[in-house]
Structure 1
């Protein structure tokens, strides 16, 4: 069972999300109407996921995300930003703070549920338009030197796994390509994330483009 904290300052939105997230493997354990309340409830309930709005009273969702993910007591919580506003400054700051996903409120309910399940498994969740903008930005300003230094830390096998993760492959795909078991693929991915200091797959993809390890448009 994946436990979820819903943080949004609109009662109607929170009520709607409760309905959408009423699934056998998902449960909403708490609701927050402000960013400060989201931080407090994250400590109290230790949910697996926080579905975080950005514009909220007292404390905005990005600052709440920083406080939750920056505190060792709630470091295991994953945050997915769900907002009406897909401004670049929001997207980049959320992901650099460690958010595992960024989605818009016009997202199909089924896709939202599938995305949250993916995040709970350790994958990332990015709206397609957001992904395109991220790639465009990093294509304009990669840092090849940083990328080369990071690349030197990876073994041949780790680089293979890295490339497949950045290409969007899940553990089953990685297992098929590398001819290993899914369990071994999961282990490889977990060790890779730990080695490069990435919180999850979404964070790893951001690091890949930002550092210059991966150049958009290349195989």
Structure 2
């Protein structure tokens, strides 16, 4: 298991932004705890979306999960840092520092503070299936391109759900997903490939709030990728 990244200026994303021109994937979530799926998606996104960096954005509090069993923020951030390398995949508490709870607000602030960055929102099919429950979700899809990654048992429901139907006209073929960061939203792609059924809920139910031990080496996603049968 990797050691947690130290909380230093070298590993923290600047709250007020900078002028670097780069392509950044944003993988937000509770990370309650962070697990192998988060890590696999981050590294796959780097390759297939041609990104410079992926930020694991740990939410200080998900409004849709109020009342659920939630570990302290510092512990959740630690599990996310155990998934990151501190260079191309970076765990961050930036939402807590800028004071946002809703993704649409976070994206608006990040685009303002990092004016030369090109962001792509990364989500699983389970998150995409529930996107219509998010605050300002229609504004969100007009703010940032979105990449959707498969999750067992929910892919068809996600693609046929309210968000999938609303966004159908702006869907980009999976083979062109490397263009997402350069496209003006709305734009999105579903990327069929390796699926993993692991979930934070499953890890907690098994009595272990920890990062699985098999994550010490980044997966070679270019050689392990396989089709799921979903249409791309």
TM-score normalized with structure 2 length: 0.37
Q: Which has the higher contact order (CA 8 A, sep 6+)?
A: 2
In terms of fraction of residues, the more helix-rich structure is 1
* Greater Rg over alpha carbons, structure: 1
